[in-house]
């Protein structure tokens, strides 16, 4: 009863905004989060060193300037990075944010006792030190072109934490801070009612000025139809990452506008390259060729995703539109299976040496792709003689350390990925990041691709990096550890009275400090 009563009172507060959101974070400590949950929490309550502006240019946040070779922030050999912090960034309890906080947070990320989901990039740091209270010097083991955008940057999951509150703990996994943290961002976390809502208030000490909208309340609503109803009734004012299946209803919501933005996100069929059946290239090529991506997008995503640029979701500005694609071609799929020795059985499912061609597909039960896309994939596979058996997992189990993706207990998976704006694909294709050591759940390992990903990080010139990543794209199309289905779009619904909102490839909250309501 308390939650319902509070929701009504929040809606009646002046200068407030109620946001219906599908996902609830597992923590308010960004070091324990990943993906959209991490970037959202970071943008609302914390500071980064650098971030992206609305035009995807790197800009300073807690850092006064963005380190580059041109301004001597990056050494000529690319292995030393120097950050100069602003002097006016304050923690919400009045303490200044200093170099000590940055060094502490780095060490917390690297502390093996902390349950951080990923240490990519941070594990390439040779040393880090505070030259003075507002200067940080980072020495890398080797040049890393993506470092500035990932090290407490817009492409990273992690924000800066307060050393004066957390340094005494041996680990941060279960500290009280995780439920009611003190940040340095535009909003303060006031109350988290698990399973119901997260209430925030504008930070009076925010260095860019106190946000115009005084109160935010994030309501956790796990059903897309309920979100539409709440927008219609006024119980919610806005929603982000809305379901494309609800686009007609969302566009008809009075006094609201819908904004669709292509993101560095993609959905893909992931092939477990260590599985005896799936590692056969004829099987992978046939299944990929059997899928009509454009029909999938038209039916499941109302045409709002891009079926032709799935790889752009991984490679962003380095995407090569001339690298090619795997076209929908059922005839080719059947030829590939025949070449692999698979012949049609009595029921249409192909057989080889007495074994039916059957594969198990795992997917997140809470993702819209489960209800919309999986039946179409099963039908497409059957049309060429593959029996695809779907198995749904709760996301927490699917992606857990002991789950099927990390343990390799699957054959193919339907997954949604979030990448950063920097095109480095190491997390998904490098041998060293094969699960359970990273997000390369395909367990793909190609020496030529490995060398190319390393070269792509050693050079800072954008044109050189584009050529390198074009080569990697072409090899992925040959080897097929992934079949890219589409590049995803973010669908945001905001009140017509909201000003200052800017679509962002990082987080819908990236511009939250500038939001204002025009009544």
Spatial CB neighbours of 89, under 8 Å, sequence gap ≥ 6: 47, 62, 96, 97, 184, 207
Q: Over 60: is that where the pLDDT of 328 sits? A: yes
The per-residue pLDDT for 8 is 40
What are the start-end ranges of the E strands in 195-339? 197-202, 215-220, 238-239, 256-271
- Over the stretch 106-154, which tens digit does the pLDDT of each residue have? 999 999 999 998 888 899 999 999 999 999 999 999 999 999 999 999 9
Spatial CB neighbours of 201, under 8 Å, sequence gap ≥ 6: 187, 188, 190, 214, 215, 216
The per-residue pLDDT for 48 is 98
Cβ atoms 265, 417 nearer than 8 A: yes
Report which of 492, 25, 10 is spatially closest to residue 239, judged by C-alpha positions.
492
* Helices (H), ranges, 418-513: 426-429, 447-458, 462-479
- Go through 278-311 and write b for each residue having 16 or more CB atoms within 10 A of its CB, e for each that does not: bebebbbbbbbbbbbbeebbeebbeebbbbebbb
* Helices (H), ranges, 89-195: 99-110, 147-150, 163-166
Report which of 162, 5, 175 is spatially closest to residue 92, judged by C-alpha positions.
162
Spatial distance between the Cα atoms of 274 and 239, rounded to a whole number of angstroms: 40
- DSSP annotation of 90 reads B
The per-residue pLDDT for 2 is 33
Q: What is the pLDDT of the chain when averaged over all its residues?
A: 94
Backbone phi, then psi, for 390, in 5-degree steps?
A: -90, 140
* Overall pTM > 0.85: yes
Distance of CA 479 to the CA centre of its chain: 24
- Over the stretch 189-235, which tens digit does the pLDDT of each residue have? 999 999 999 999 999 999 999 999 999 999 999 888 999 999 999 99
- Over the stretch 261-303, which tens digit does the pLDDT of each residue have? 999 999 999 999 999 999 999 999 999 999 999 999 999 999 9
4-13, 173-182, 261-270, range with the lowest pLDDT = 4-13
Cβ atoms 7, 126 nearer than 8 A: no
Cβ atoms 359, 278 nearer than 8 A: yes
Q: Over 60: is that where the pLDDT of 58 sits? A: yes
Instruction: Please name each of the domains of the chain with its CATH number.
Output: 24-177+496-517 (3.90.76.10), 263-490 (3.10.105.10)
The per-residue pLDDT for 121 is 86
Report which of 427, 444, 425 is spatially closest to residue 273, judged by C-alpha positions.
444
Backbone phi, then psi, for 455, in 5-degree steps?
A: -60, -35
Residue bearing the bigger pLDDT, 248 or 34: 248
């Amino acid at each position: 009863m308390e939650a319902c009563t509070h929701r009504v009172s929040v809606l009646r507060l002046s200068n407030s905004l109620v946001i219906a959101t599908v996902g609830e974070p597992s923590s308010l400590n960004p070091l324990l989060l990943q993906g959209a949950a991490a970037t959202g929490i970071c943008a609302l309550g914390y500071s980064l060193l650098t971030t992206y502006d609305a035009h995807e240019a790197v800009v300073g946040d807690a850092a006064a300037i963005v380190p580059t070779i041109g301004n001597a922030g990056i050494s000529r050999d690319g292995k030393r990075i120097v950050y100069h912090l602003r002097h006016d960034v304050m923690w919400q309890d009045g303490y200044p944010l200093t170099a000590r906080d940055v060094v502490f947070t780095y060490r917390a990320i690297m502390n093996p006792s902390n349950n951080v989901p990923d240490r990519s990039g941070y594990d390439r740091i040779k040393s880090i030190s505070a030259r003075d209270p507002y200067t940080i010097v980072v020495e890398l083991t080797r040049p890393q072109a993506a470092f500035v955008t990932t090290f407490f940057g817009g492409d990273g999951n992690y924000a800066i934490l307060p050393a004066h509150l957390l340094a005494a703990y041996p680990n941060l996994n279960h500290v009280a801070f995780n439920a009611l943290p003190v940040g340095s961002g535009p909003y303060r976390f006031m109350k988290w009612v698990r399973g119901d809502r997260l209430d925030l208030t504008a930070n009076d000490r925010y260095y860019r000025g106190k946000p115009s909208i005084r109160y935010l309340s994030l309501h956790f609503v796990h059903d897309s139809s309920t979100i539409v109803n709440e927008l219609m009734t006024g119980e919610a004012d806005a929603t982000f990452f809305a379901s494309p299946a609800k686009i007609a209803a969302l566009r008809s919501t009075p006094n609201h506008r819908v904004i669709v933005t292509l993101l560095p996100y993609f959905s893909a069929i992931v092939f477990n390259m260590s599985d005896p059946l799936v590692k056969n290239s004829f099987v992978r090529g046939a299944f990929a060729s059997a899928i009509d991506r454009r029909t999938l997008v038209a039916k499941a995503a109302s045409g709002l995703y891009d079926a032709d640029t799935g790889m752009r979701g991984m490679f962003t500005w380095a995407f090569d539109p001339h690298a090619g694609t795997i076209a929908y071609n059922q005839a080719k799929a059947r030829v590939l299976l025949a070449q692999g020795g698979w012949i049609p059985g009595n029921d249409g499912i192909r057989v080889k040496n007495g074994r039916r061609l059957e594969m198990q597909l795992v997917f997140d039960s809470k993702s819209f792709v489960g209800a919309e896309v999986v039946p179409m994939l099963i039908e497409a596979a059957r049309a060429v003689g593959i029996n695809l058996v779907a198995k749904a997992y709760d996301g927490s189990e699917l992606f857990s350390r002991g789950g099927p993706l990390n343990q390799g207990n699957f054959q193919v998976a339907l997954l949604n990925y979030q990448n950063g704006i920097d095109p480095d694909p190491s997390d998904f294709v490098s041998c060293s990041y094969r699960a359970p050591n990273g997000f390369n759940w395909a367990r793909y390992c190609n020496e030529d691709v490995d060398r190319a990903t390393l070269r792509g990080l050693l050079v800072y010139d954008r044109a050189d990096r584009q050529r390198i990543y074009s080569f990697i794209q072409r090899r992925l199309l040959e080897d097929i550890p992934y079949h890219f289905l589409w590049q995803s779009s973010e669908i945001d619904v905001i009140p017509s009275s909201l000003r200052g909102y800017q679509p962002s490839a990082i987080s819908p909250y990236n511009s939250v400090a500038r939001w204002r309501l025009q009544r």
